[in-house]
Amino acid sequence: MRYIRPLSIEDAVGLLAGSTGTAAILAGGSDLLVRMKGGFVEPDLIVDIKAIEELSEIRETADGFSIGAAVPCAVLGESAALKKAWPGVVEAAKLIGSKQVQGRCTIVGNLCNASPAADSVPALVAAGARASVVGPGGRRTIPVGSVPTGPGKTSLAKGEIIEAILLDKRAPRSGDAYLRFIPRTEMDIAVVSAGVNLTLDEHGVVTAARVALGAAAPTVLLVEEAAEAIIGRKLDEAALERLAKVCFGACRPIDDKRGTIEFRRKVAGVLAKRAGTTAYARAGGK
């Protein structure tokens, strides 16, 4: 096995594209090293991307935010500007693991690990986040939701790296929120989860909405009917009930030791309602 720490994204792409055998990208390592230890993966090449300077930055641009692939989740929580604009994304990222894991884990890693229960992914999909992908063929920008294609599988081709997650500049009167259900108070994997992102007009009427569910299907679910159910009205009790009902119906969860299908469907609705209420309040709705 070789360990290489390139200084540029082009070098990293070249190494991955030219590799024979199994190559792995190392950012926080909180998934990769566990898989290596468990014998699930034996990389011939590890490309550590943390020495690539621009990947370790959160940049605020005219268009919004660019979060580098090597930025640990702990740093997301320390960015006041990001927290103010996208509190739902930050609260989701902060739910991943312990303090120790927070110091290493990244949202790009969370996305590329492609667990259906990944905490940051529903929040990013609700936020309409995009991934900037660099590969041998150049750069492309794709919706975050198109990265995971199934448990542990992504749409990325050989040699491709997600260099950053892009979040739009916020429209006025916007808010987002993320909630998950776990049987403990923290340090657990989502049984089911919901991210909601809203923009309101000056009367508190929802003008734009995105609702995403986690651990409710093999990949994150963007529930367009849930958005349609609340756009054009205030988020009152009746709208919240419709939101919950649509989310209940949209789930395609599994039955396992952490929750039954019935339980997950019900809780998905409850969480969508609660996350919706918080996002609405954050957007200034009353």
Partner 1 sequence: MAGVAVSTTINGDSVEYLCQPDETLLDVLRDRLGLTGVKEGCGTGDCGACSIILDDRLVCSCLVLGAEAEGRRVETVEGMAHGDRLHPLQQKFLEHAALQCGICTPGFLIAAKDLLAKNPDPSEEEIRFGLAGNLCRCTGYDKIVRAVQDAANVMKGA
Q: Which helix (H) or strand (E) holds 140?
A: strand 138-143
Instruction: Tell me if residue 96 falls in helix, strand or coil.
Output: coil
Closest approach of partner 1 to the CB of residue 186, in Å: 6
Which residue among 186, 203, 237, 286 contacts partner 1 (CB under 8 A)? 186
Angstrom distance (rounded) from CA 161 to CA 9:
8
CA distances in angstroms from 255 to 98, 192, 215, 222, listed in the order given: 27, 12, 11, 21
Per CB under 8 A, 29 contacts partner 1 = yes
Q: Is 86 helix (H, G, I), strand (E, B) or coil?
A: coil
Given candidates 1, 81, 157, 171, which one binds partner 1 under the rule CB under 8 A? 1
Q: Is 7 in the site for partner 1 (CB under 8 A)?
A: no
Q: By CB under 8 A, what part of segment 204-233 binds partner 1? A: none
- The string over 114-127, giving b where at least 16 C-beta atoms fall within 10 Å of a residue's C-beta and e elsewhere, is bbbbbbbbbbbbbb
Decide if residue 36 touches partner 1 (CB under 8 A): yes
Q: Decide whether 70 or 167 has the Cβ nearer to partner 1.
A: 70
From candidates 11, 17, 33, 234, binder to partner 1 by CB under 8 A: 33
Contact 271, 279 (CB under 8 A): no
Interaction of residue 157 with partner 1, rule CB under 8 A: no
**Contact residues for partner 1 (CB under 8 A)?**
1-3, 5, 26, 28-30, 33-34, 36-38, 43, 46, 48, 50, 72, 74, 97-101, 103-104, 186-187
